Every structure is written in C-alpha cells, then in structure tokens.
A = this chain, B = another copy of it.
Amino acid sequence: MLIVQKYGGTSVGTLDRIEAVANRVIQSVKEGNKVVVVVSAMSGVTNTLIEQAQYFSKNPNAKDMDMLLSSGERVSSALLSIALNEKGYLAVSFSGRKAGIVTDSMFTKARIHYIDTKAIKTELQKGKIVVIAGFQGVDEQGDVTTLGRGGSDLSAVALAGALDADLCEIYTDVDGVYTTDPRIEPKAKKLDKISYEEMLELASLGAKVLQNRSVELAKKLNVNLVTRSSFNNNEGTMITKEDGMEQALVSGIALDKNQARVTLRNVEDRPGIAAEIFAVLASENINVDMIIQNVGVDGATNLGFTVPQNELDLAKNAMQKILNSKTTIESDNAVVKVSIVGVGMKSHSGVAAKAFKALADEGINIGMISTSEIKISMIVHEKYGELAVRALHECYGLDK
C-alpha cells in the first residue's frame, strides 16, 4: 500500500517523540508499505515564532510571516529524515516546494492549486521514505506560502489525493473520533468508521480531531482518512465514503460551550431584512451559527441566532447601527449547543422526537432548535450541557 502518514505537533514535540515517530514509520515500511510522511512543527515552535514577529509588529506582513512560519516544519522534517537514515532506512526531507505543492498567493492562508508529485514519485521509486514539511507550499512566483490553521492535515490529504494513496493516516494525541467527549461521558465509544459528512458536522461542532477543510478535501478527493494516536497502537477511526457502511442511526453527540444566543424582537417583517442583518454581521467577520426565524405576526417577527461568545458585544454593536428603535436585542451568554450527528437520521423519522423526550425527561428546557439532514442542534442552559450530552448518548444507545 501507499500510505501518507501525518504527525502533528505533539507527536513530534520532543526529540524522543520524533524517534518514536521514526520507529512507527519503519514499522509501516516493514509491513510492506511505501510511506510518505508529513510533519508539523514541533509543538510550541510556531507559537514562539508568532510571538517573535509580534515583538516587532501587531500586524506583521503576511509574506514575511510565511517565510518565518514555514521554518518550523522544515526543522522537524529534516530531523525525522536524519533519524530514519540513521536507523538504516533511506529517507529524504522535502520542503513544501520540493514536494511540488503549488498554492495561490494568499499568504498565511493559501489554498493549494495543484501538486506536482514527480519529485516524490522519483524518490519513492528509489525505495526512499519521503518526509515532507507540512503546512506550506509555494505560489506561482516561487514565494513560500503557508496554508493556515490545520495546514499540515491539509498537506497530507492533498498529497494522498495527488499520489492516489491507499490511506492517509492522521496521527494526533487522541485515539480517534468518539461518540461524544469522553471527559463528559466516560461511556463514550471510539467509532471505527464515520462518513465524511458526519465528520464535517462533528468537526464544526467542536470535535478537535480534524479541521473541516481537511475533511472536505478528503471527501472531494476520495481519500480514505484514518485518525489515530501516535502515543499507542490502538486502531483509529476511518473517515470515508458513506455508502457501504453499516448505518448507525446516530454517530455522535457534540457539545459546544462557546455559543451565545441573540434574539431580536419586533424585527420589521419585510423582504431583505434578514439579509441586511447578516450582511452587517458578516462585514464584521462574526461567525453566525444557528439562525431561527418564525413566521411573523402584524408586520413584525422575531429572529434568533447564535454567535461565538467573544464576538457577542461586537455583534450587538453592529446591529444597533441598522435596527430601528422598535426592535429590542436580547442576548444570553449562559448557553451551550448540544448536537446529534448521524447519517442514519436521514432515513429515519423520530430521531428528533427521541432527543426532545430525553431532554424533557431530565427537565432540560430547549431554547433553540435547528436541524439539517444529518444533524440536530439544540441550545440549552449551560448548566445542563453535560447532562444533556449524557442523556442523548444513552437514548441512542451509543454506549452499546
């Protein structure tokens, strides 16, 4: 098999951790695989570089930042290659450029245009392990770019797609994707498989395993992703196409504590009013999540939505500017969002009703509800957050 393995910052956080990564790579080679490795910077390095830049400037220019930030992954890729060579396995370290990763010129948040895999394939054919600095590429002008948050995962997925790899393994410090946060519900179970769509919902709901951008790309390129821990030998979670899987009704429960609820009362009920409101929020770069609007009465309506807690004041100030005097703004920071995710719910009715009953049985009031094909999200008082997660986890039998 051709496998792309990606190791995150904690997995290469110390020299002896890099040594352990080398042994893991070698294990995979011994099993007969060709291996391409993508590494992040050693944990802490990128933050130190950012702090150094901020000594000089609150807003350092993006092109210099990419020259700066790209250095961390170069170091870890070189060190891993040195370790592999020392252990008698031919390896070579590649920068993003040498790996053929060409991006646009949006420095610090570049998007991959294409990957010219020629150099990688040449080294693989020589029997070498190719160790690639993640998180970086070059633009058409030959300037170094970085891919933004989660960029190393993205490098790995894009490379797996371009190389038509059999598998893309993302190594982190957690075992995989769980039915819910094990710190909240100790009965949470690791999922063996999950669909791209479910993973996307879970990631956007706060599961820290993978960034949405990487899952989206994996879905687009049909890359079989496995997320697993580099600190043990447990099997991870396979993230792959939906069909062919045994369909669980519900795959997981997520809790997002970073939401604030906003309710606008007596909003003028005319076409375009919602667009105006959300346009002003967008212009302030506020991430609006759930949006609820009921049918209006007497030319006025109520509008509810959620924003990240630290953007609440900004959101309220922005809306003051455009709302008329009749409209009142209410907000509540003391809320959390609990979500149920599952491909299975597409074809099953009653999933939502079951959730509402489970919460009602615990005396939990639901403030807002929003649903998609494979997700139901509910806003509840923050004091009930963990209880709601456990109740839902049990009612769908996820601990079985």
Contacts of A64 in B (CB 8 A): 78-79, 81-82, 85, 91-93
Binds B, one of A54-62, A270-278, A283-291, A337-345: A54-62
Chain B residue at minimum C-beta to C-beta distance from A74: B71
- Bound together, the chains give a CA A68 to CA B74 distance in angstroms of 6
Contacts of A19 in B (CB 8 A): 56
Q: Knowing A67-B74, A74-B71, A75-B71 are in contact, say whether A82-B60 is a contact too (CB < 8 A).
A: yes
Main secondary structure on chain A at its contact with chain B? helix
Per-residue interface assignment for chain A, residues 31 to 74, with 1 indicating a CB less than 8 Å from any chain B CB and 0 otherwise: 00000000000000000010011011100110111011011101
Residues 76-130 of A at the B interface (beta carbon under 8 Å): 77-79, 81-83, 85-86, 91-93, 95, 97-98
CB pair A78 B68 closer than 8 Å = yes
- Bound together, the chains give a CA A85 to CA B52 distance in angstroms of 15
A144 interfacial contact with B, CB 8 Å: yes
In the complex, how many residues of chain A place their beta carbon closer than 8 angstroms to a beta carbon of chain B? 39
- Bound together, the chains give a CA A78 to CA B71 distance in angstroms of 10
> How close is A92's CB to chain B, nearest CB, in angstroms?
7
Contacts of A15 in B (CB 8 A): 52, 55-56
Chain B residue at minimum C-beta to C-beta distance from A68: B78
- Bound together, the chains give a CA A98 to CA B97 distance in angstroms of 12
A143 interfacial contact with B, CB 8 Å: yes
| A contact set with B: CB distance below 8 Å | 15, 18-19, 22, 49, 52-53, 55-57, 60-61, 63-65, 67-68, 70-72, 74-75, 77-79, 81-83, 85-86, 91-93, 95, 97-98, 142-144
